[in-house]
Amino acid sequence: MRDIDHQDRGGLLGPLKNLSFFARQPITEPLGPRPASANYRGFHLNDWDLCIGCSTCQKVCDNAAITMVKVPGLPEDPAKGIRNLRPAIDYGRCCWCALCVDLCPTGSIALSREYVHTCVDSELDSYFILPDARGIHGTPYPKGWAKSTDADLVALERQPMTEQAPADRIENFSEIVAGYDANQALIEASRCVQCGMCHDACPTHMHAPEYIRAIWKGDLEGAVREIYRTNPFAHTCGRVCTHRCETACSVGHRGAPIAIRWLKRYAMDAVDHERVKQIAAEGRADFISGKRVAIVGAGPAGLTAAFDLVRQGHDVTVLEAQAQAGGMVRYGIPDYRMPADRLDRDLDVITSLGVKIRYNTRVGVDLTMERLRAEYDAVVLGVGLWMGRSTRVPGSDQAGVKRAVDLLRAVAAGEAIEVPQSAVIIGGGNVAMDIARTLARLQQQRYGEVRITLTALEDLDHFLADADEIREAREEGVQILEARGPQEILMREGQVAGLRTWGVRSIFDQAGRFAPSYDPADEQIHAGDMVVEAIGQAADVALLGEALTEMLQWHRGRLQVDGQGRTNLEWLWAAGDMVRGPDVVSAVADGHRVADSIHAYLSVQEHAP
């Protein structure tokens, strides 16, 4: 080791050099926060007006740093995809990775440029924050890392659905949409953020996130298994469901919602039908209870209840007035929307479990309700809305004025109907669109042109029909007139000649009651050889008999039931359209509730002394 001389060490007087700095002005900057860079990942900001409480941020956080907190007073509406939950951040766990920002479907979460936390005490709870748009200390702070084209893990574009061109589809009744292929389904399934908002919105509380994840993983049998946990009308709802789930989809707030309905359809079409039947039979009771249940009506509500009850070990017989099962799905929805062969697959699954269906059997004619009560342990009414309502305007009782449900039923049954060269449809719901588009196809086939006019009380923004139905009807040549009120069916030489309408001023009065007001000065004449009323439907309750009808409770033509579908009579339940109006998925949900209630009732009866 070499010697270190005095020069290397600075000399003995070297330390005294520091004394010279005492006379100089300080140049050290004051200690304090400095502005962070534009994309700094500081404390969280959350815009509560944009936040829907979907919990996606909580699910994506690998450090379990986010807890969803219920905030009383905030709106909560499952049908619209809104929860009164907001994310709270535990900064003892957070690593500021910003995945919560990148995957937030609505873009409500951002990271601020703030990085200093002033603790008011020494408690660790001060690091557990419920952030809002004002920042961690309640004062506005600039955003740092936030949604951008470079920081967005949510795929906003939906996979397009291939469908027949209008000029082609007007020539036939073949299904319009082609369905997803495997690659489209994989890409569409990958868009799902697994928030579960769809589960909350669906009347059946379907396990959509689970079956979508299964599709993404390539496990199509697993997807079918998840679907059958809540819906035995899987092919049907994969095509004509009102898909409220998509309205509630969190991805839909900034982009197109996940195609939940089309993904269900893809999984069901992709798995061999015999394998589907095996999957549906899983979990079926291996005993017979000895209890017998009669169900009146082989529509979605009645057959869903039958599906559940048979799986629970009960003996179920369904009594159907028509020659085939399916109810209004078969006889009210045209093939171009709901192919009969796919409905038949749903029905085959249900009957393969042991559900017995007696066709062409009219309760009230071939046997009475009193007989059903005597021979069965429980009875379910699942009667559809087979009777069309009338406008009751002058001339509405003429032979050339038809009801939409009667025409649709005849076409579905293969019966020949009169095809007018021109027709006027009254109504703005899906049934009105269905009959307009059905007659348009028949006109095209017979006359080579479409001459259909559809009039509705509502303005276009408030039509009850699905937006796709309205668009497709227009593409097929149907003329749609909004805010027109029917006044008179016009006659010429004893034949229907058209419809007179007035412009609609309002539909409801100040108390919210249906009381249309018209403008007589705004009069139009719509020529037509046939006028079709599609303004609503009602159930034919004559099958009940006068005495039973009087015993039951009714409200505005609908049978009243409790939360489990039970009427005021101990032995009688009701479900489906006659209880809550036309909607396939709601009818399925009704069927599940009724089955659960009956199973509980029969179990008590079985063990009663």
- Which backbone phi and psi does 603 adopt, to 5 degrees? -65, -40
Instruction: State the angle between helix axes of 208-216 and 260-270 in degrees (0 to 180), rounded to the nearest 10.
Output: 60
Across residues 25-43, what is the average pLDDT? 80
Could you please report the per-residue DSSP string of 385-436? --EE-----TTTTSTTEEEHHHHHHHHHTT------SSEEEE--SHHHHHHH
Mean pLDDT for 141-169 is: 93
pLDDT digits (tens, 9 = 90+) for 561-608: 999 999 999 999 999 999 988 899 999 999 999 999 999 999 987 665
- The terminus-to-terminus CA distance of the chain in angstroms comes to 105
Q: Could you give the CA distance from residue 323 to residue 72 in angstroms, rounded to a whole number?
A: 53
CATH topology (fold) of 288-385+539-607: FAD/NAD(P)-binding domain (3.50.50)
Q: Are 100 and 66 in contact (CB under 8 A)?
A: yes
CATH number for domain 387-537, candidates 1.10.8.80, 3.30.1360.20, 3.40.1160.10, 3.50.50.60: 3.50.50.60
pLDDT for the residue numbered 243:
92
269, two tokens? 């079409």
Q: Once rounded to an integer, what is the mean pLDDT over residues 153-182?
A: 96
Dump pLDDT digits (tens) for 214-231: 999 999 999 999 999 999
Confidence (pLDDT) at 119: 64
Dihedral sign from CA coordinates of 600, 602, 603, 609: positive
List the domain boundaries for the chain.
Answer: 44-129, 170-280, 288-385+539-607, 387-537
Question: What integer pLDDT is reported at residue 607 of this predicted model?
Answer: 60
| Calpha distance 72→277 (Å, rounded) | 45
Q: What is the pLDDT of residue 10?
A: 58
Nearest Cα residue to 227 out of 205, 244, 243: 205
If DSSP codes are grouped into helix, strand and coil, which group holds residue 106? coil
Whether the pLDDT of residue 461 is over 60: the answer is: yes
Same CATH topology for 288-385+539-607 and 387-537?
A: yes
**Domain 170-280 falls in which CATH fold?**
Fumarate Reductase Iron-sulfur Protein; Chain B, domain 2 (1.10.1060)
pTM exceeding the 0.75 threshold for the entire prediction: yes
Supply the mean pLDDT for the chain: 93
| pLDDT tens profile 464-488 | 999 999 999 999 999 999 999 999 9
The CATH number of the structural domain formed by 44-129 is 3.30.70.3270
Q: Supply the pLDDT for residue 127.
A: 84
The predicted structure's pLDDT at residue 6: 47
Radius of gyration of the chain (CA): 32
pLDDT at 115: 87
